[in-house]
Amino acid sequence: MSRTITFVTGNANKLREVQAILAGSPSINLVNRKLDLPELQAATTREVSIDKCRRAAEIVNAPVLVEDTSLCFNALNSLPGPYIKWFLESLGHEGLNKMLDGFADRSGYALCTFAYCEGPGKEVHVFEGKTDGTIVRPRGPLDFGWDPIFQPDGYNVTYAEMDKAEKNKISHRAKSLEKVKAFFA
């Protein structure tokens, strides 16, 4: 039985990636809706996603799926974390790298948090996926967030340089969506 879920995002790249990862999943029929939701400023993507999910469920009045992503630098105690979008907008890829220039440790991780809710007032379910890697100077196309500066462990290319199908197998988003698929299976 296929369940129709509204994925709330205005990010076309994110939508395409999620659709590609969920393609062929018989239990999920994903539809998209862009909503201008106020975003809670919190220390974790979990808190942000739960809040966004509750707000979206109230507006859509149907099952919703939302997502929030962090890029965390180990040398900075996981910053910028859920604030990565604003750090990237303010500093750019090179500025993000400069934040680590005084540190020997350039390791970090990408964390993706999906939250699902059946509707208003219902329980929010959270699914997280994490990929460890290294923060590098920008390489590859600059059209999808911080992908040009994140090189996952075990690879010599950044997310941006990686074949999309390969990225969709190993990324933080893919790991989180595997948990979403298992929940609905």
* pLDDT band at 1; cut points 50, 70, 90: low
pLDDT for position 159: 97
Distance between CA atoms of 21 and 124, rounded to whole angstroms?
22
Q: From the annotation, which residues make up the binding site? A: 9-14, 39, 52, 68-69, 144-147, 167, 172-173
pLDDT number for residue 83: 94
pLDDT in tens, 41-63: 888 999 999 999 999 999 999 99
In angstroms, the Cα distances linking 45 to 84, 153, 156, 182 are 11, 22, 27, 21
Q: Which residues are annotated as a binding site for ITP?
A: 9-14, 52, 68-69, 144-147, 167, 172-173
Query: In the CATH scheme, what architecture does the domain 3-184 have?
Result: Alpha-Beta Complex (3.90)
* Domain coordinates in residue numbering, the chain: 3-184
pTM for the whole thing?
A: 0.92
Which residue numbers belong to the known binding site for Mg(2+)?
39, 68
Q: pLDDT tens digits, residue range 80-115?
A: 999 999 999 999 999 999 999 999 999 999 999 999
